Amino acid sequence: MSEDTNIVLTTVDGMVDGFLNWGRKNSAWYLLFGTACCAIELMQTGGPRADLERFGSAPRATPRQADLMIVAGTITYKMATRVRVLYDQMAEPKYVISMGSCSNCGGLFQLAYSVLKGIDQVVPVDVYVPGCPPRPEALIEGLLRIQAKMEKERGWVRRLWTKGRKNSEGAIVRAPLADAYKAGA
């Protein structure tokens, strides 16, 4: 072998991980839904000025073809169970951004009897974006953090032979509402 021959050594696992992660990270399609005023900001972020599609993220109107759920707006207890149904209909691997104070912790309405005090009581959240509403730049930062998380994921070959990820890392599914959901409340 001549001196200027270049040899790259890698593992199948590493190659597949890198390739799949590159593809997933640049095509994180988000579920098209919103529950209050943060949704207007989400629409604005998807519009031509902020242009989320620069990062490969386009809206999908069905959970079965969405990789990312952006919870944008106040969530009432009544709506929380519907959000969980949408989350369950998304295929793994899936990610969740909680956008804005209402989704993060109930926000302005956290003392209201009907408002959920954080969407992480119902679905596992990967990234929280603060603000009321968050500016498009903040939501873009949230998306970039999801992309960074996707890039670091390893073990896809192994997952092809197993049942896949059970939950997003750092997932918190708090008991009371999750139990109520399971009970069909």
Under rule CB under 6 A, which residues in 149-178 are in contact with ligand SF4?
Answer: none
Of the candidates 71, 51, 75, the one whose C-alpha atom is nearest the C-alpha of residue 63 is 71
Distance between CA atoms of residues 152 and 62, nearest Å: 27
Q: Judged by CB under 6 A, does residue 108 bind ligand SF4?
A: yes
> Does 132 participate in binding ligand SF4 (rule CB under 6 A)?
yes
Q: How far is the CB of 132 from ligand SF4 (least distance, A)?
A: 3
> In angstroms, what is the minimal distance from the CB of 120 to ligand SF4?
15
To ligand SF4, the closest distance from the beta carbon of 111 in angstroms equals: 13
- Inter-residue contact 105 to 10 (CB < 8 Å): no
Convert residues 31-70 into a mask of x (bound to ligand SF4 by CB under 6 A) and - (unbound): -----xxx--------------------------------
CA dist 89 to 27, 69, 152, Å? 19, 11, 25
Of 31, 20, 33, 178, nearest to 95 by C-alpha is 31
- Within the chain, what is the greatest distance between any pair of CA atoms? 75
- Residue 74 touches ligand SF4, criterion: CB under 6 A: yes
106 in contact with ligand SF4 (CB under 6 A):
no
Q: Which stretch binds ligand SF4 (CB under 6 A): 19-27, 46-54, 97-105, 167-175?
A: 97-105
- Smallest distance from the beta carbon of 137 to ligand SF4, in angstroms? 15
Strands 68-72 and 95-99: parallel
At position 18, the amino acid (one-letter code) is G
Residues that bind ligand SF4 (CB under 6 A): 36-38, 73-74, 100-102, 107-108, 132-133
